Amino acid sequence: MTEQNQLSAATLARLGKDVQRPAYDRNQMNTGIVHLGIGAFHRAHQAVYTDAVLASGDNRWGILGVSLRSADTRDALQPQDGLYTVAVRDGSGDRFSVIGSITSVLVAPENPQAVLSAMVEPSVKIISLTVTEKGYCYAPATASLDESHPDIVHDLAHPAAPRSAIGFIVEALARRRENGTEPFTLLSCDNLPANGETLKRVVLRFAELRDPDLATFIRESVAFPSTMVDRIVPATTDTDRTIVERATGLRDAWPIMTEPFTQWVVEDHFPSGRPAWEKVGVTFVEDVDAFELMKLRLLNGSHSTLAYLGYLAGHETVSDVMQAEGFSAFIEAMMDEEITPTLPPLSGFDLSSYKAQLRERFRNPALRHRTWQIAMDGSQKLPQRLLNTIRKRIEQGKPFKRLALGVAGWMRYATGTDERGQPIDVRDPLANDFRERTHGKTSAADLLDAYLGMQQIFGKDLADNDEFRRAVGGALEQLLRDGAAVTVAKAGRD
Ligand code: CS2
């Protein structure tokens, strides 16, 4: 039983009058999209665009969300009939909307068959994903399927009861093929370079290991458009829940906090149809590559750098880091001098104002985006955020000392002890590996060797590159000696 003051279909009318709500009949919605990885980001981004399409009168595109791990999202949203609040926050105030595009949420480990049944429904035209970098079960340096990944080993042995996103996708495609139902389009919305291509590579390899004919069928008939997604979405806190309840009049078990900025650039390749997202602010292009590189290197590369160095310097949130001495100048110089020259041209795009806007977004005082949150999963993020940019600088014969400091910041962070000798809760699928490799090592040279031995992150090229070793080793030495605050303040000045 839902309570009187909890958000649900029955209590919608009690929302404060300034709160936007679904302007369509949710009982008439069909499920056209199954989304794998229904976390906060999806609910602040794709689900919001799709809510606007539903509001325009096209009821085909309700989203069935799937959690691949925990039941938390389902437990929060089910009593609310899938409804949740999005709070858009910046220094000038907050705006609240209730989003209605989620039809229901399934928890894959509880009932994989229910997920597969949903994925084979003929009304489902798109499977979208936000499963984070590690959800692709690949080796970060090469982005090819990690065939020894425990979930992949499991899913190859038990294809009809998968655990991984890849296993679910391939089994659902196999079943659709058998039923004579046309395949869905696969829409990766994760922060990976060429995310559609990457998803295609791991899906095809997995399918090949199962059945080469199935791989041929997928290669010939399934579309994998690439996308660039952007919106900053910090994890929700209890304080946020209180803010939402006070402002909207209804309690929401899991509201989403985000910023005004939102961007979605998508390759227009949907053979079985798609929502008219172009009418609600989505940009469709032939090739998303240049947008994706710009976003990954400028936004995410800076974000990770601010997260590691900022955490080490004792700052809790990105906006705190941006106010600390030297950080803003450091990140501006890194963007302008080291990242921008590596980007492919984007004609008609004003890169200077994009970068200025990025720094404003990082400063947003109303978003408490924790450095610790962004610091997670560094082993999966480093290649596309910093290392590929460095590769390009090396190729161009240009210096990259700030990017090198970002990488050294990660190495220092991943040792698991902060500058005051306190433990750091390092969350990363390879965390045990770092711990073993760096155990008992204290000098920059020994730590550098230990990390560069992880070729699944650095590749052989960087591990063997003297310039890279010198730049990162030097930065690490300075970090260990002077600490992050002093190192950044110095690096921003010269
Ligand atoms: C962040 C991203 O947590 C992180 O690693 O860098 O989630 C970032 O906020 C988004 O990509 C913004 O679009």
**Cα-to-centroid distance, 158 and ligand 1 (Å):** 33
pLDDT at 106 over 80: yes
- At 34 the three-state DSSP class reads strand
State the Cα–Cα distance between residues 217 and 179, nearest whole angstrom.
14
Smallest CA-to-CA distance from 317 within 396, 235, 241 is with 235
Query: Each residue of 252-278: pLDDT tens digit?
Result: 999 999 999 999 999 999 999 999 999
Residue nearest to atom 8 of ligand 1 (CA): 232
Q: How confident is the model at residue 347 (pLDDT cuts 50, 70, 90)?
A: confident
With a Cβ cut-off of 6 Å, ligand 1 is lined by 191, 230-232, 299-300, 303, 373-374, 381
Question: Can you give the length of the chain in residues?
Answer: 494
| Ligand 1 atom nearest residue 191's Cα | 11
| Ligand 1 atom nearest residue 385's Cα | 6
Smallest CA-to-CA distance from 222 within 165, 270, 162 is with 270
| Ligand 1 atom nearest residue 229's Cα | 13
What's the CA dihedral at 301, 305, 306, 311 to 10 degrees? 140
pLDDT for the residue numbered 133: 96
| Ligand 1 atom nearest residue 41's Cα | 7
Mean pLDDT along residues 401-418: 97
Q: Which residue has the higher pLDDT, 348 or 105?
A: 105
Residue nearest to atom 5 of ligand 1 (CA): 374
Mean pLDDT along residues 444-467: 97
Mean pLDDT along residues 442-458: 97
**Cα-to-centroid distance, 231 and ligand 1 (Å):** 7
Residue nearest to atom 1 of ligand 1 (CA): 374
Strand partners, 186: 127
Residue 321, CA distances (Å) to 302, 309, 349, 424 in order: 12, 9, 28, 18
Domain annotation for the chain: domains and CATH numbers: 3-285 (3.40.50.720), 289-493 (1.10.1040.10)
Q: How confident is the model at residue 2 (pLDDT cuts 50, 70, 90)?
A: low
pLDDT for the residue numbered 443: 97
| Ligand 1 atom nearest residue 300's Cα | 6
Question: Is the CB of residue 173 less than 8 Å from the CB of residue 222?
Answer: yes
State the Cα–Cα distance between residues 259 and 176, nearest whole angstrom.
39
Residue nearest to atom 3 of ligand 1 (CA): 374
What's the whole-model pTM score? 0.97
Residue nearest to atom 9 of ligand 1 (CA): 232
Q: Which residue has the higher pLDDT, 277 or 4?
A: 277
**What percent of the chain lies above the pLDDT cut of 70?**
99
ipTM over 0.90? The verdict is yes
Mean pLDDT along residues 126-133: 98
**Cα-to-centroid distance, 62 and ligand 1 (Å):** 25
Collect all residues with Cβ–Cβ distance below 8 Å to 482 and sequence separation of at least 6: 490
**Cα-to-centroid distance, 340 and ligand 1 (Å):** 19
Pocket test for ligand 1, best of 195, 232, 382 (most atoms within 8 A of CB): 232
Pocket test for ligand 1, best of 363, 374, 385 (most atoms within 8 A of CB): 374
Query: Each residue of 28-66: pLDDT tens digit?
Result: 999 999 999 999 999 999 999 999 999 999 999 999 999
Query: How far, in whole angstroms, is CA 346 from its chain's centroid?
Result: 23
Mean pLDDT along residues 90-116: 97
Average predicted confidence (pLDDT) for the chain: 97
Mean pLDDT along residues 448-460: 97
Query: Each residue of 186-207: pLDDT tens digit?
Result: 999 999 999 999 999 999 999 9
| Ligand 1 atom nearest residue 381's Cα | 5
**Cα-to-centroid distance, 258 and ligand 1 (Å):** 11
State the Cα–Cα distance between residues 444 and 480, nearest whole angstrom.
7
pLDDT at 1 over 50: no
Residue nearest to atom 6 of ligand 1 (CA): 300
